[in-house]
Amino acid sequence: MTPFDDARRLHALSELRILDSGVESAYEDLVALACQLTRAPVAFVTLADRDRLWFKACQGLVMNEVPVESSLCHLAILTPRQPFIVEDLRSDPRVAHLAVAPGMERMRAYLGVPLLAPLGIALGTLCVLDDRVRRFETDQIESLQRLARQITLLLQQRETLNRLEELDINFSAFMNNGPFVAYIKDRDWHYSYVNEPCLQQLGLTRDDILGKDDFTLWPEAAPRLREMDEQVMRELKPSRQIERLVTPDGRHFFWQSYKFPLATRHGIALAGLSVDVTEHIEQQHLLEASQRQLLDMMKAAEQRSVTDALTGLYNRRAFDLHLAEQLQRAEEGTRPLSMLLIDVDHFKAYNDAYGHPVGDAALQDIARLLLQSCRDGDASFRYGGEEFAILLPGADGVAAQQVAERCRLVVAQHPWSRRPITLSLGVATHQPGMTAYDLTEAADQALYAAKAAGRNRVAG
């Protein structure tokens, strides 16, 4: 296999489903900007297929694809960590073997920056060409690298959207073909989603239910349903119980319902999963036994769903729920909110040197030290592999900096048995109007600054 046939790159491009896709303004805007910043007449976004170079966006020349034997960009991806620069295409021996692609005869200089997938695989390039021999300036190269990173983000977003689309298809199939009733209510208690089994059991259509509340649909049962719903949303904890409903046509039935808070882009909603237990309600002793078993399973699942198995800290799902809750309170002006994002410095090298069991033990110790360094009421999370997060309700920027520095010191001064371990920490404090994404992004940028400044420090 040649470098041009790299199976990982070809697989990544296949997953993106981008080859031979249509024109997208975001890519066109970036190639136009690339020409402006480098003062070059031609710019392309290219993707390296097995036997061809395909052009996603063009500025200055209209190209669709060129064979690999005419492709400068296939050479550029051989050095994925640095730009590929040719000051004179007619005299540089590195490109002497390449055929000249139609339309490219006048081009004399080339600058290409590889587009890297998350695992460091070069998928293609952002490149500019000039019809004169030239030396590209340092700031022009850096500008093109910045634009290339933006294109990489677009590609990652495309991959995410592809996965979400697939998940949505699978979710719909699962929800509409399972044996359970499922529904979602918004903050005004109106039904915003119901699955097919729910409609079939109730004998209603979506138009009958969506946008309506329990008091409109089943007034007799509504007070009890609302009481349970309000408890779930007030405590932000799951709840379960037997619910008795009377349909508009007078039928009585019972649901075993499990309700829980659900973080959505519009805030926290109420979700419910219910199973029809009408046929078994009269066999009370059997039902009670099954209830106990179900409660134990739900309790274990609930604990697993919000806890990281290795460190015992809250996990990423719990982080999203806690952040949504604390942001709502911060927006209401009841108290400030700060966030710490934490990265264990050079932890991959630590794992490589001492092995994953030792690395896992170190992560457990770090989690324990972070918990000891936090204040009462703070919440600690394992955010990713070697990344942690801490939410600090009631902490302004000064207090958050103090907690962050305490966390950094307790880890740096711990008597590690192998070699010292340090942390880089990013601090961000909520400002009015900030979303969960804004606050997390601010903390992430601060963390990036801490690492860029030498690590083992706090930034924010």
Task: Write the DSSP assignment of 172-208 as a string of letters.
Answer: HHHHHHSSSEEEEE-TTS-EEEE-HHHHHHHT--HHH
State whether residue 432 is helix, strand or coil.
coil
Beta strands in 394-454 (DSSP E): 423-429
Choose, from 159, 230, 288, 386, the residue flagged as catalytic.
Answer: 386
**CA nearest to 229, candidates 202, 268, 276, 198:** 268
Q: How far is CA 414 from CA 124, 214, 417, in A?
A: 45, 56, 9
pLDDT of residue 300: 54
Q: How far apart are CA 273 and CA 110, in angstroms?
A: 59
**CA nearest to 245, candidates 236, 232, 234, 254:** 254
- Structure-token pair, residue 421: 């371990």
On whether the pTM is more than 0.75, the answer is no
Using the 8-state DSSP alphabet, how is residue 102 labeled?
T
DSSP H or E stretch at residue 339 = strand 337-344
Q: In this structure, which amino acid lies at residue 220?
A: E
Architecture of the domain whose range is 316-459: 2-Layer Sandwich (3.30)
Q: Do domains 3-165 and 316-459 have the same CATH topology?
A: no
Per-residue pLDDT of the chain (460 residues; tens, 9 = 90+): 344 557 888 888 888 888 888 898 989 999 999 999 999 999 999 999 988 999 999 999 999 999 887 788 888 888 888 999 999 999 999 998 888 888 889 999 999 999 988 778 899 999 999 999 999 999 999 999 999 999 988 888 877 776 766 665 666 677 777 778 888 999 899 999 889 888 888 888 999 999 999 999 888 888 888 988 999 889 888 888 888 877 777 777 788 888 999 888 778 889 888 888 877 765 665 556 556 776 656 565 565 678 898 999 999 999 999 999 999 989 888 789 999 999 999 999 999 999 999 999 999 999 999 999 999 999 999 999 999 999 999 999 999 999 999 999 999 999 999 999 999 999 999 999 899 999 999 999 999 999 999 999 999 8
**CA nearest to 99, candidates 53, 67, 62:** 67
Asked if 290 and 284 count as a contact pair (C-beta separation under 8 A), the reply is no
Architecture of the domain whose range is 178-306: 2-Layer Sandwich (3.30)
User: Residue-wise over 182-198: b if at least 16 C-beta within 10 A, else e?
Assistant: bbbbbeebebbbbbebb
Asked if 111 and 128 count as a contact pair (C-beta separation under 8 A), the reply is yes
Q: In this structure, which amino acid lies at residue 25?
A: S
Q: How far apart are CA 324 and CA 317, in angstroms?
A: 11
Asked if 277 and 197 count as a contact pair (C-beta separation under 8 A), the reply is no
DSSP H or E stretch at residue 52 = strand 52-59
Does residue 441 carry a catalytic annotation?
A: no
Q: What CATH superfamily is the domain 3-165?
A: GAF domain (3.30.450.40)
What are the boundaries of each domain within the chain?
3-165, 178-306, 316-459
Contacts of 221 (CB under 8 A, 6+ apart): 214, 243, 244, 245, 246
